[in-house]
Structure 1
Amino acid sequence: MNVLVFRTNINTDERVHRAACRLCKLRTICRWSIDLEDCVLRVESESLTETDVIRLLTKAGLQCDALT
């Protein structure tokens, strides 16, 4: 299981909804969560890479950078 962590601009309900619409469509995501206070997204997946998640959220008009 890969745990991917990202700094994002997801800090409103509307942005959470936009992210959720994209993330929930991917069957390869086992679990995801957003800390609205720190704008941190955590994704658990068997096969997704950081690049996959960044590309997905960027297409939704959201900012996303991997935290290492």
Structure 2
Amino acid sequence: MDVLVFRTNINTDERLHRAACRLCKLRAICRWSIDLEDVDCVLRIEAEALTEADVIRLLTRAGLQCDVLN
């Protein structure tokens, strides 16, 4: 199981809903969460066979910003 961590602009209910609709469709994701209280709105994903590029592409297509957080 891989843990992927991202900085996002998911800081409103509307953006959270948009992200959730996309993330819930990916069967590779076991669990995900967004820390709305963190300044970076950190998205943490636990998944099998999912790359950082896959997540960035998915959320960018939804009109959201997403960058790998090191």
User: Normalized against structure 2, the TM-score is what?
Assistant: 0.95
Residue matched to 1:2? 2
What's the C-alpha RMSD, in Å, of the aligned pairs?
0.5
Runs (4+) off by over 4 Å: none
> Which residue of 2 is the match for residue 59 of structure 1?
61
AA of the residue aligned to 1:49: T
**Identity value in percent:** 85
Q: Which amino acid aligns with 1:53?
A: V
Distance across 1 between alignment mates of 2:11 and 2:44: 14
Q: Mark the runs of 5 or more structure 2 residues left unpaired by the alignment.
A: none
Structure 1 unaligned segments of length 5 or more: list them.
none
The alignment covers a number of residue pairs equal to 68
The letter for the 1-side match of 2:56 is I
Query: 1:44 corresponds to which letter in structure 2?
Result: E
How far 1:36 moved relative to its partner? 0.5
